[in-house]
Structure formats: C-alpha cells, structure tokens
Structure 1
Amino acid sequence: MRDAASQTHLPAAPGIGYKPQHFTAIMQDAGRVAWLEIHAENYMGDGGRPLAQLRHLAEKFPISVHGVGLSIGGEAPLDPDHLARLKHLVGWLNPASFSEHLAWSTHDSHFYNDLLPLPYTDASLQRICDHIDQLQDTVARPMLLENPSSYLAFAESTWSEPDFLAEIARRTGCGLLLDVNNVFVSATNLGFSPQGYIDAFALAHVGEIHLGGHDTDADEHGRPLLIDSHGREIADPVWALLDYTLARSGPRPVLVEWDNDVPDWPVLEAEAARAAAALERIPA
C-alpha cells in the first residue's frame, strides 16, 4: 500500500471548497487558504465562465478534484460516460489530488441526490475494489476514498468501517480521505467513540482531511441525530476531534467544506485560519 505522501501533492495546510461567488476575493487575498477543492461534476462542460475561472485558479493554487456522482459503491457498473468526463477533466487540469466517496447514488436508471451507505461485506468489498481499479486505470492516477457519514448500521456488515477502508486501500493502492465531521456524525448517530474510530483508522494512508458543519436533530425516540449538512460553521467537538487526529497522524492537508447557505468570504476564511491554527499546534 502506498503511503499518504504518494497519494496527494497538496500542501499540509488549509484548503476550502471553492464557490464561484468567492472568486474575486480569493484571487485578491486568500488569507491562510493554500489550496482549493472543486466538485468534479460542476466542471465537466466544454467551456464558459466556470472553466475559465478554474484555469485562473489553477495557476495560483493546487486544486483537489472531489467526485460526488460516480456511485463507486453501487451494484451497477460504473457509468462509462461519467468516467470519460472525469478522465477529460483530470487530464487537462492535472489536479494535486483526486477523491471519491465510499457511497452509492444510482440504481438501475435512477440517480439519487444523496450519498447513500452500503453494508460492509466481502461482496461489497470486492465490487468497490473492482470499481476503484477501473477508475484509477481510467484517470491514470491514485485516488483517495472518503469515509461516509452514517445514520444507520447494516445487520449484514461483517467488517468495521476502518478495517473495510484499510482493506480497500491495501487491495487497490488507493489512499484514504478522512472526513472528521463524518466520523463525529456517525459516532453520535450510531453510539460509538469517535476517538476509538480514529485510533483504528489507517492514518498513515490518509492523504487529506475534511471538516464541515452539521445540523442537530432528534430521532423518533428523542435521541440526538446529526445531519451532515455542510451548511454552517464547524462545531467545537469536531475541531477537538481534528486536534486528536492530527496529534496522531501528523500534518495533513485540511479542507473546510461549506456547500449550503454559503457565507461571505471572511467567514469561510476565518474557518480556514482556525484549521491553520490546529496544524500549528501539532507537537514537534
């Protein structure tokens, strides 16, 4: 299995999920932001302002491409048209990192606007590994695979999530993307220790760390239910879990995601500055 350094060329510094309304502010003064992430599906066209802006940004910042629509955990074969568009985007942009979710979003001819969970079984393990092999061969580079946020557990699962991800990385040579907010959301919803999850995770193979905001709700029994919304500031317990993670992993690229109810640039840059402070606190 490759180590984290071979999976990404991003700096061990804060990044943010790029939004077009922030283009001018970023180009003028990005503050502590050292790199940017884009969602692949927003840049699969042939031209226009989005691609023109992306070309300008790529001259100044390392870019991470994050796919959200490939359905890498789905039962159906990967969509060849989607793969071709990904190959084209990655080919001309030459991003510093490329990642996908451990999730599925398609069934038969239907596409669901969600990243849905799957059981951790030997059968799903083999299917996902086959899909990752196909994807990495297509884009001619290693990818990072992100842990999901979970709202239920499957009775048929025979692997723990950290072991499942580690085995995928071992078989395919892909790296891992550790979303710390997803860990906190899943731990709260399913009743396990987020620190224990981090302890069990293959941190040596993490090429990127994500943070985002979540919303608090309750289930039918009145128990806390967290929703991975990416629509608000990062919660203090998630920042604390980032500190816990970085103390064990060492410096990593850290991304702040804010995809809904996107704030003005100073608010987002302040979150990136907080991530920079967390990286600076890592023990020598």
Structure 2
Amino acid sequence: MSDRTILVTGATGNTGRRVVSQLAALGHLVTAANRSPAARDSAAGGSAAVRFDWYDPATYADALRDADRVYLVPPIGEPHPAAVMLPFLQQARAAGVQRAVLLSSSGIPAGGPGVGQVHGMLAELFGEWAVLRPSWFMQNFTDQHLHADSIRDDGVIMSATGNGRVGFVDADDIAAVAVRALLDDPAPNTDLIITGPQALSYEDIAAVITEVGGRPVSHRPVTYEQLRDRLATDIPEEFAALLAGLDHAISQGAEDRVTDTVERLTGRPARSFRAYCEEVTRLQVAE
C-alpha cells in the first residue's frame, strides 16, 4: 500500500471510530472525518482529524487530501443519500481515490432504496470497492438507540419483527471486516453480508439481556404502522417507513441467516450476542 492516507467518514460513529482505531493500531495513516468540529480532537493515535459534512462541499477537499482509500458512512436519516453522496464520490475519484468501502445494510440490496442506490453506482465510479451489508447491530440494545432507550426506561423492546430472527452482529466485527476490505489485495469488488454467529428473535434477545443483566426485559410486538408512526416523531416520515419496512421484512424471514464473512476475512469467529452482553455487563460493573 502507498504512503497516502485512508479517509474514514463518520469517524466518531459506531463503526467509523472503530475503523479509525483499528487502522491506526496497524500503523496506517488515517484521516478521521466528522461533521462536528468538537470531534476533531478525538482522533485515534496515528490519525489526523478534519471537519467533513456531506451537505457542505466546501469540506470535501481537505478530507480528500492525500487519500487513496475511503470508508463511506452515509448521512444519517437521509432518505435519498445517493443525491447527497454522488458529488463527493465524483470528487473523490478525481482526487485519486482508488478504493471505496461503503457501509450499507443487509436488508438493502444494490439498486434498492436509500443507500442501495449508492451501492448500485459504486463499481462504476471506482476500480476497487466493497459494500458492507451488516445485519442489525448488537450495540442497538446498549448504546444510543431507540431499543436501548426503551430497555433502560421501560424494560421492553418494541419491534414489528414478530417471531422473525436476525443475525445480530457486533460493531467491532463490522469494523474488522471494513479494515480488511480497505487493506487486502485484491479488493473484494463485491458486497459482503456480515452477521453474528446466531440468528435470534427479539424474544431471544430479551431473554439473554434478562439472564446476563439480571433485569427483566421483554419484547413488545407492534404493527408496521405503529412502528412507522413512532419513528416518524423523530425522523423524516419516508425514512421511518423504510425502517419499519425492514422490521416487517424480518417478520417474513428476510434476515434469518448467518454468514462466515467475519471469520473468512478476519481469521477469527464473530462474537455471540451473549458474549457481547457479558462484556458490556462487566464494563458497567467495573465503572
């Protein structure tokens, strides 16, 4: 690999900060890009921080300086990310970026809604590319997320998934796959569906949290319409409908699968949800 840098957008987010940290630990030059100027001092050792905003083209050039590979985290809550991201992607190609790794979702194929449109155009823009399609994050139940909030406040998880199962995955494992997709030669030049080692229902998730954390947590099923309307109080209605639709797809079996992507690319098995919960609980006790 050259002495040019790897640009990581969303560098203080769930996967971005982990990608920055793992790349820096391996000795690579990293530009950690984030919208908040206050986040510029939080870059990991071996990385430089810059202000970057998908909606402000004036921030593009500094972020792209000396970069030949880029990790792309789409703008959060944007129902039409392709329109927002395309000008940046075109500028990145013109600036000499050779490889792009895009964070998408297991529930959204190439050409599908939202970030699926960006997925569909990536191979046309870059000779080297990968699209990460992780399943639902384990961190949704412990960090800053609607599920985590409802667990803390009410001891419930609300979803429109019914009895459908999901291969929940740890964000650390997603980041580890992202690092390999950025570094390994040849480039994947494909999409990578990333799951944990088990497909679990939300009833299963609630049971594990109860057993490990020692506090009763239950799953409260809601309809697609109820979930859509609840989400729409905080995010655009179109995006709320997309997310509720993904829950409905889970209820129909769309996410009932596991893959070997984590182990195949990183050489180690994906972490289980129980192991994740046990570590979170240990950290909380230590605090």
TM-score by length of 1: 0.33
Greater C-alpha radius of gyration: 2
Tell me: higher relative CO, structure 1 or 2? Use CA pairs within 8 A at least 6 residues apart: 1
